[in-house]
């Protein structure tokens, strides 16, 4: 009898377990972005109320085991979370929308972050979508026209020159340049590839920039580069770009015949003008110096970025190449960028260490100043580019103290090479809930080398060079910054308390060496 009871109990238990086992099913699907319908990698798919979950792969696909009636929660940074109830083993495909409220809620302000609604200072923010909407060859160009009240202009047409950024207008009493902070340490905006930027914050007023002291007299530009996400599969992006630039239109100037008539009417005394006794007035179009000196310039750019992360770490690495011709002949720019950013967490995210490394190699050719275009427009159209009667073969003007533009930029060869290294490393520890200590170390090193070679020329009244000249120079800049901060942040209800105590130390050093065979002198400067 006892055996029969045991058998019946075992039989009913087996029957009860059958539907439970049957309910455990494998659910698959694809997660896409609503606006572009492209797959979303790194989306967390979790069974609500349980520890079961997974992450979408590079194609946005996922596979998770759950029971009928369970609720799947789809979530990722910057997107609205979605919940979906499992009713069968049919695929569950979801389309996620951007969460604009969450994205705009928090902004970077110096040594921390703050809710946008709590800011009383003038802080403007630009995200990756706005920066990458148009292809830019440097970070300054990417920022142009994106923030009201911030002036971004080009100092010249030289492809090797950066952009001039004014946050608070132009002042003659102090430096107009803003302070650039890259991933938490002081740097140079030109060393950052626009494709690597996640966001840019501009601190405009004294309240927002006060924490940086006198260094922020011209405002502060905070640059945050792209980083990987934890629990995200490895993602690779490769981009290629090619384009061209040219002057929208040429300015209307005298051709050769018009210039000759003008010179004869006003009795201008100069060789080639046509007012000499018995001289024959110039007939024909002459030399169009805008056509000679300006060109359609090509630009080539390539960028590759790889990112990903595990449960306790994240990483992002990129490499880029840029080759840009200048609109002015004999000017060009070439650069290589390498970037590495990673962070690692320990002790249940209470201890975090990370670093950001940027290495930039650039090379430029050309010699442009603010008067270059004026010289091209003012040089007489009656003068040819080449003149076989001249000993060096260049066309010249006797009385105009300007060089033949084509001759000058062909005989004067100026090259610049620059190597920039930027490293920022940090350690952050949560002492108690809400109280965090952060140690930040920033290192920067710039090496510049310039070389100018001037060949033999005879440019009339503009000058003559009987022997080649060579001048070379080099300069180095080194800097380190050490910062210690203690930050307390407590939120209770509709109220919050924030406190910051910190110590910062910085040291800069620069030195240079210049030499020339023209005067056989060597100049050395050294600054601490």
- What is the mean pLDDT of the segment spanning 357-369? 88
CB 412 within 8 Å of CB 456: no
Rounded CA separation 42/36 (Å): 17
Residues 6+ apart with CB under 8 A from 82: 73, 74, 75, 94, 96
What local confidence, expressed as pLDDT, does residue 51 receive? 78
174 or 416: which carries more pLDDT confidence? Answer: 416
Do 218 and 84 share a structural domain? no
Residue 102 pLDDT class (50, 70, 90 cuts): very low
Report whether pLDDT(382) > 70.
yes
Q: What is the largest CA-CA distance in the chain?
A: 143
Tell me how far apart the alpha carbons of residues 56 and 491 are, in angstroms, rounded to a whole number.
33
Do residues 96 and 88 make contact, with C-beta atoms less than 8 angstroms apart? Answer: no
pLDDT tens digit sequence for 475-497: 999 999 998 989 888 877 777 78
520 and 429, same domain (yes or no): yes
Eight-class DSSP state of 86: -
Same domain (yes/no): 71, 160: no
The percentage of residues in the chain with a pLDDT greater than 70, rounded to a whole number, is: 81
Among candidate residues 21, 30, 29, 31, the one with its CA nearest the CA of residue 68: 21
Count structural domains, the chain.
Answer: 4
- Please give the average per-residue pLDDT across 24-38, as a whole number: 86
- 415 occurs within a structural domain: yes
DSSP string over 444-503:
EEEEEEEEEEE--EE-GGG-EESS-EEEEEEEEEEEEEEEEEEEEEEEETTEEEEEEEEE
Within this chain, do residues 122 and 185 fall inside the same structural domain, yes or no? yes
**CA distance linking residue 63 with residue 82, whole number of Å:** 17
Q: 475 or 7: which carries more pLDDT confidence?
A: 475
Q: Which pLDDT band, with edges at 50, 70 and 90, does 20 fall under? A: very low
Residue at 230 is within a domain:
no
Query: In angstroms, how far is CA 71 from the centroid of its own chain?
Result: 42
The answer to whether residue 5 is domain-embedded is no
- CATH number, position 326: 2.40.170.20
Asked whether the CA dihedral 464, 470, 471, 474 is positive or negative, the reply is positive
Q: Do 160 and 48 share a structural domain? A: no
Looking at the structure, tell me whether residues 159 and 271 fall in a common domain: no
pLDDT at 117 over 50: no
Q: Which of 74-88, 200-214, 468-482 has the lowest mean pLDDT?
A: 200-214
Q: What is the pLDDT of residue 425?
A: 94
What's the whole-model pTM score? 0.75
Using CA atoms, how far residue 136 sits from 143, 299, 338, in Å, is 9, 10, 17
| 3-state secondary structure at position 26 | strand
Q: Are residues 151 and 246 in the same domain?
A: no
The per-residue pLDDT for 17 is: 46
Tokens of 337: 């960028």
Would the pLDDT of 332 be above 70? yes
d(CA 527, CA 332): 31
Are 429 and 353 in contact by the 8 Å Cβ rule? The answer is no
User: Between the ranges 25-39, 108-122, 418-432, 458-472, where is the mean pLDDT highest?
Assistant: 418-432
325 located within any domain: yes
Taking residues 4-31, what's their average pLDDT? 60
CA geometry: angle at 309 spanning 303 and 311, to 5°? 170
In a domain, 4, yes or no: no
In this prediction, residue 255 has a pLDDT band, given cuts at 50, 70 and 90, of confident
For residue 320, what pLDDT is reported? 94
**Whether residue 175 has pLDDT greater than 60:** no
CA-closest candidate to residue 211, choices 220, 200, 202: 220
Average pLDDT of the chain is 80
| Averaged pLDDT, 210-227 | 80
Q: Are 186 and 83 found together in one domain?
A: no
For 64-70, what is the mean pLDDT?
88
**pLDDT over threshold 70, residue 432:** yes
pLDDT confidence of residue 94:
92
Assigned domain for 201 exists? yes
Closest C-alpha among 298, 294, 323 to residue 244: 298
The answer to whether the CB of 27 falls within 8 A of the CB of 89 is yes
Domain that holds residue 339: 235-250+288-527
Average pLDDT estimate for 155-173: 67
Average pLDDT over residues 8-37: 65
Residue 119's pLDDT is what?
52
Both 168 and 196 in one domain: the answer is yes
DSSP 225-263: E----TT---EEEEEEEEEEE--S-PPP---HHHHHHHH
Band (207; pLDDT cuts 50, 70, 90): low
The pLDDT value recorded for residue 268 is: 64
Inside any domain, residue 263: yes
Rounded percentage of the chain residues whose pLDDT exceeds 90: 23
pLDDT at 276: 43
Residues contacting residue 207 through CB under 8 Å, at least 6 positions apart: 120, 121
Question: How far, CA to CA in Å, does 190 sit from each of 5, 242, 442?
Answer: 83, 20, 17
pLDDT band with cut points at 50, 70 and 90 for residue 168: low
The pair of three-digit structure tokens given for residue 103, joined into one six-digit string:
């994205």
Instruction: Place 174 in a pLDDT band, splitting at 50, 70 and 90.
Output: low
Select from 67, 23, 25, 30 the least CA-distant residue to 45.
30
Q: How far apart are CA 369 and CA 160, in angstroms?
A: 12
Q: Are the CB atoms for 195 and 305 separated by under 8 Å?
A: yes
The domain spanning residue 30 has which CATH number?
2.60.40.1120
* Nearest by Cα to 180 from 148, 138, 229, 145: 138
Residues 410, 308, single domain; the answer is yes
pLDDT for residue 371: 75
pLDDT at residue 208, as a whole number: 59
Average pLDDT over residues 220-229: 86
Q: Return the pLDDT at 467.
A: 83
Dist. CA 371–CA 482, nearest whole Å: 43
70, 97, 124: which is the final residue of a domain? 97
Place of tokens 């009201």: 148
Residue 445 lies in a domain: yes
Please check whether residues 196 and 330 belong to one and the same domain.
Answer: no
Tell me the CA end-to-end span of the chain in Å, nearest whole number.
Answer: 99
pLDDT, tens digit, for every residue of 401-414?
Answer: 788 889 888 888 88
61 shares its domain with 148: no
HEC secondary structure over 388-429: CCCCCCECCCCCCCCCCHHHHHHHEEEEEEEEEEEEEEEEEE
């Amino acid at each position: 009898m006892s055996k029969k009871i045991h058998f019946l109990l075992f039989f009913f238990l087996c029957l009860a377990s059958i539907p439970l086992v049957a309910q455990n099913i494998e659910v698959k699907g694809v997660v896409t972005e609503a606006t572009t319908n492209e797959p979303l990698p790194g989306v967390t798919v979790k069974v609500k109320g349980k520890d079961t979950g997974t992450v979408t792969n590079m194609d946005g696909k996922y596979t998770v085991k759950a029971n009928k009636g369970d609720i799947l929660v789809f979530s990722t940074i910057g997107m609205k979370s979605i919940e979906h109830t499992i009713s069968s083993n049919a695929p569950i495909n979801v389309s996620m929308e951007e969460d604009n409220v969450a994205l705009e809620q928090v902004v970077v302000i110096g040594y921390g972050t703050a809710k946008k609604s709590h800011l009383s200072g003038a802080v403007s923010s630009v995200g990756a979508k706005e920066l990458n909407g148009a292809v830019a060859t440097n970070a300054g160009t990417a920022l142009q026209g994106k923030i009201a009240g911030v002036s971004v202009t080009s100092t010249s047409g030289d492809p090797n020159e950066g952009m001039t950024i004014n946050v608070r207008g132009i002042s003659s009493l102090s430096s107009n340049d803003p302070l650039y902070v890259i991933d938490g340490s002081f740097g140079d905006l030109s060393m950052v590839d626009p494709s690597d930027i996640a966001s840019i914050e501009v601190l405009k007023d004294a309240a927002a920039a006060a924490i940086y002291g006198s260094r922020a007299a011209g405002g502060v530009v905070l640059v945050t580069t792209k980083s990987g996400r934890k629990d995200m599969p490895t993602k690779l992006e490769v981009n290629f770009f090619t384009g061209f630039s040219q002057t929208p239109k040429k300015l209307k100037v005298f051709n050769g015949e018009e210039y000759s008539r003008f010179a004869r009417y006003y009795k201008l005394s100069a060789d080639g003008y046509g007012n000499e006794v018995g001289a024959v007035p110039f007939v024909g179009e002459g030399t169009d110096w805008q056509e000679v000196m300006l060109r359609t310039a090509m630009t080539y750019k390539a960028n590759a970025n790889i990112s990903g992360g595990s449960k306790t770490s994240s990483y992002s690495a990129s490499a880029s190449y840029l080759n840009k011709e200048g609109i002015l002949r004999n000017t060009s720019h070439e650069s290589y960028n390498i970037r590495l950013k990673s962070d690692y967490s320990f002790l249940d995210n209470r201890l975090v260490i990370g670093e950001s490394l940027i290495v930039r190699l650039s090379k430029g050719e050309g010699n442009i100043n603010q008067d270059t275009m004026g010289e091209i427009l003012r040089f007489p159209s009656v003068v040819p580019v080449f003149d076989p009667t001249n000993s060096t073969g260049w066309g010249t003007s006797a009385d105009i103290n300007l060089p033949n533009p084509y001759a000058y930029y062909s005989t004067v060869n100026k090259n610049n090479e620059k190597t920039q290294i930027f490293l920022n490393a940090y350690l952050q520890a949560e002492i108690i809930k809400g109280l965090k200590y952060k140690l930040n170390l920033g290192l920067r090193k710039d090496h510049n080398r310039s070389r100018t070679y001037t060949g033999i020329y005879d440019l009339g009244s503009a000058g003559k060079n009987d022997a080649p000249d060579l001048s070379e120079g080099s300069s180095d800049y080194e800097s380190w910054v050490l910062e210690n901060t203690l930050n307390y942040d407590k939120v209770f209800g509709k109220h919050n308390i924030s406190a910051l105590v910190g110590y910062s130390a910085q040291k800069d050093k620069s030195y240079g060496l210049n030499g020339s065979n023209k005067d056989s002198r060597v100049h050395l400067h050294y600054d601490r």
